[in-house]
Chains A and B, each alone.
Chain A
Amino acid sequence: MKIRTLLAAAASSVALSTGAWAQTEIQWWHAFTGRLGELLAEQIETFNASQSDYVVIGNHKGNYSETLNAGIAAFRAGEQPHILMVFEVGTATMMAAEGAIKPVYEVMAEGGAPFDPDGYLGPVKGYYTTTDGEMLSLPYNSSTPVLWVNRDAFTEAGLDPDMDLSTWQQVGEALDALKDAGNPCPLTTAWQSWIHLENFSTWHNQPFATLENGYAGLGTELTFNGPAQVQHIAQMGEWAKEGKFIYNGRRNESGANFRAGECALFTESSAGYAGIKAEADFDFEIRPLPYWDGVDGAPQNTIIGGSSLWVLAGHEPEEYEGVAEFLSFLSTSDIQAKWHQDTGYLPITLAAAEQTRAEGFYEANPGTDIAIQQMTGAEPTSNSRGLRLGSFDQIRGIIDEELEAVWAGDKDAQAALDNAVQRGNQLLRRFEQANQ
Chain B
Amino acid sequence: MEKRVIFKGWLLPLLLLMPQVIITAVFFFYPAGQAIWQSLFIPDPFGLKSQFVGLGNFEFLLGDPYYRASFVTTAIFSGLVTIFSMGIALYLALLADRLIKGAGTYRTLLIWPYAVAPAVAGVLWLFMFNTRVGVVSWYLGLLGYDWNHVLNQTEAMGLVVAASSWGRISYNFLFFLAGLQAIPRSVIEAAAIDGARFWTRFRTIVWPLLSPTTFFLLVVNVVYAFFETFGVIHTITGGGPQQATTILVYKVYSDGFVGQDLGSSAAQSVILLLVVGLLTVIQFKFIERRVHY
Contact = CB atoms under 8 A, between A and B. Distances in A.
Interface of A: 65, 69, 72, 75-76, 93, 96-100, 247-250, 253, 256-257, 262, 391, 393-394, 397, 400-402, 404-405, 407-408, 410, 423, 426-427, 430-431, 433-436
A410 B257 contact: no
B261 interface: yes
B42 interface: yes
A93 B42 contact: no
Contact of A401 (B50, B241, B255, B259): B241
Interface of B: 42-48, 50-51, 53, 60, 64, 66, 131-133, 150-152, 238-243, 254-255, 257-261, 263-264
The interface residues of chain B, by DSSP majority, are classed as loop
A405 B242 contact: yes
The interface residues of chain A, by DSSP majority, are classed as helix
Contacts of A404: 150-151, 240-242
Given A247-B151, A394-B254, A408 B260 contact: no
A248 B240 contact: no
Given A430-B264, A435-B44, A397 B258 contact: yes
Contacts of A96: 44
Contacts of A401: 240-243
Nearest to A408: B151
A69 B264 CA distance: 16
Nearest to A392: B259
A75 B259 contact: no
B261 A407 contact: no
Of B50, B254, B261, chain A has the most CB atoms within 10 Å of the CB of B261
B259 A256 contact: no
A98 B47 CA distance: 11
Given A394-B258, A434-B43, A100 B48 contact: yes
The 4 closest A-B pairs by CB, nearest first: A394-B259, A408-B151, A100-B46, A404-B241
A87 to B, nearest CB: 12
Given A72-B46, A393-B258, A397-B254, A250 B51 contact: no
A430 B261 contact: yes
21 contacts: A69-B257, A75-B46, A75-B47, A93-B45, A247-B150, A253-B132, A256-B132, A256-B133, A262-B132, A393-B258, A394-B261, A397-B239, A401-B241, A404-B150, A404-B240, A405-B242, A427-B259, A430-B261, A433-B42, A434-B43, A434-B50
Nearest to A90: B260
Contact of B51 (A405, A423, A434): A434
A75 to B, nearest CB: 5
A431 B44 CA distance: 8
A65 B132 contact: no
Contact of B259 (A76, A262, A393, A410): A393
A72 B150 contact: no
A423 B238 CA distance: 18
B260 A72 contact: yes
Nearest to A411: B242
Contacts of B48: 97-100
A355 B77 CA distance: 57
A347 to B, nearest CB: 31
Contacts of A436: 51
Given A393-B259, A434-B50, 4 more contacts: A65-B257, A248-B150, A250-B240, A404-B242
B261 A391 contact: yes
B266 to A, nearest CB: 13
